[in-house]
Amino acid sequence: MQLRYNFRVYPSAGQRGALSKAFGCARVVFNDGLRARQEAHAAGLPYIKDADLQKQVVTAAKRTEGREWLGEVSSVVLVQSLRDLHTAYRNFFNSVSGKRKGPKVAPPRFKSKHDNRQAIRLTVNGFSLRSDGRLYIAKVGDLYVRWSRQLPAAPTSVTVTKDASNRYWASFVVDTERDVLPELDTEVGIDLGLTYFAVLSDGRKIESPKFLRRAEKKLGRMQRSLSRKEKGSKNRAKARAKVARQHAKVGDRRRDWHHKESTRVIRENQAVYVEDLLVSGLGRTRLAKSVHDAGWAQFLTMLEYKAALYGRTFAKVGRAFPSSQVCSVCGLRDGPKPLHIREWTCGKCATIHNRDHNASRNVLLEGRRIVAAGRAETPNACGAPVRRAYMPARRGEAGTHRAPRRGQ
């Protein structure tokens, strides 16, 4: 199993300039490769192979007057940028042909230097870990890393990113074995909502923290200050950075809380069943801000990969399943109900149901049926290994990162 371990890095002023140069060169090579393939397609020429494209936009481009500065960064960065382009095309072709499941994937687009996230990726030929804990990046130097934990094995690649709040991160890909927990006899169904973030089938309710709502007043004040700054001025750039840092704090708090709650649910239950919500559709309704503030998709992703990591069973119940319409005691389907109805009485067995608790119990029953039918992609459900994919490791579960010491 491959996991990602993210750590905060603190480059010096010179290293920040070298990283900016690497970000720019990787972006230019990606755009040049994309433009070459688009022009070949428009001219009716065959698809340019990866080796030929690399010779054209990297090897030959370094000898030209307009692209000689590509030699100032590591060649590993440029090659990996073209591999990312190849991956984007492959995902697009597989989506069009039906080999890739899920939402349709759009063709690759040109990258901009104004994007909120800049990144470079390096294989083992372009980086190494020093004995003093620093991260060496070719043609950048030794970066100070705030290690919050030890890596379980030697990393196979690293991605250095810069986010909108001007923070730098190093994301290591590590091959690890599953850390299977002792088996339990408890199972749980989860109904996600807005009044409560989640209602579990065992009766426990998880309050919604509403991180964005709590920060709205401060964010509004900072955004009003940003709108008054003159466009293109340095003060506007400073105000924009302040707003980005505040949004980053909100996202960090939400992510940390999701990690803690998802880990608790996985550790306390042998099987976890959830409803497969259409978050993208709910994000276009009048409840969009509350839906995005809850972060259901991120929470479900954490539950899924942690279940695979710890040897738990995880299954999603289809969004068409009428979890709020069926009595969890007798199975009577009582029809749809408006959202303002939070309690209702079954017309057959006269059981008084809480809407969310009844839905979570129905999700539990339907999840058990799915697992019994062998349609869940978990080791405990059908005996097959989980599909191999990059999954984010647990970053910052125990708390927040400390600030760097002076002089570092």
DSSP string, 308-331: HHHT-EEEEE-TTS-TTTB-TTT-
Q: Is 100 helix (H, G, I), strand (E, B) or coil?
A: coil
Please state the pTM of the whole predicted model. 0.84
State the pLDDT at residue 171. Answer: 96
| pLDDT for residue 402 is more than 80 | no
State the pLDDT at residue 390. Answer: 42
Q: How confident is the model at residue 385 (pLDDT cuts 50, 70, 90)?
A: very low
Cβ pair 79, 58 in contact under 8 A: yes
State the pLDDT at residue 339. Answer: 82
Neighbours of 356 (CB within 10 A): 21
State the pLDDT at residue 383. Answer: 39
- Angle at the Cα of 11 from the Cα atoms of 10 and 13, rounded to 5 degrees: 130
Task: Report the interhelical angle of 234-268 vs 296-310 (nearest 10°).
Answer: 50
What are the backbone angles phi and psi of residue 11, rounded to the nearest 5°?
-75, 150
CA-based end-to-end distance of the chain? 34
Q: Check residue 61 and report its DSSP letter.
A: G
Cβ pair 163, 41 in contact under 8 A: no
Q: How confident is the model at residue 10 (pLDDT cuts 50, 70, 90)?
A: very high
State the pLDDT at residue 101. Answer: 86
Q: How confident is the model at residue 281 (pLDDT cuts 50, 70, 90)?
A: confident
Range 175-184 average pLDDT: 90
Q: How confident is the model at residue 265 (pLDDT cuts 50, 70, 90)?
A: very high
| pLDDT for residue 291 is more than 70 | yes
Range 353-361 average pLDDT: 90
The helix (H) or strand (E) run that includes residue 261 is: helix 234-268
pLDDT tens profile 301-331: 999 999 999 999 999 998 888 888 889 888 8
Range 9-25 average pLDDT: 97
CA distances from 76 to 22, 52, 153, 390 (A): 10, 17, 22, 21
Task: Select which of 84, 187, 275, 366 is catalytic.
Answer: 275
- Report the percent of the chain where pLDDT is more than 90: 73
User: Where in the chain are the domains?
Assistant: 2-175, 187-385
- Report the percent of the chain where pLDDT is more than 70: 92
356 is catalytic: yes
Task: Select which of 84, 191, 256, 293 is catalytic.
Answer: 191
CATH architecture of 187-385: 2-Layer Sandwich (3.30)
β partners of residue 271: 187, 313
Task: Select which of 32, 84, 304, 356 is catalytic.
Answer: 356
What is the chain's mean pLDDT, rounded? 89
Q: Is 126 helix (H, G, I), strand (E, B) or coil?
A: coil
276 is catalytic: no
User: How long a stretch of residues is the chain?
Assistant: 408
CA-to-CA distance for 408 and 403, rounded, in angstroms? 10
| pLDDT for residue 401 is more than 70 | no
Contact residues for 2 (Cβ-Cβ < 8 A; gap 6+): 156, 173, 174, 175, 176, 388, 389, 390, 391
301 is written with which tokens? 């992703």
State the pLDDT at residue 375. Answer: 63
State the pLDDT at residue 350. Answer: 86
The burial of 153, by beta-carbon neighbours within 10 Å (0-12 exposed, 13-18 middle, 19 or more buried), is given as: exposed
pLDDT tens profile 187-216: 999 999 998 999 999 999 999 999 999 999
Range 96-114 average pLDDT: 92
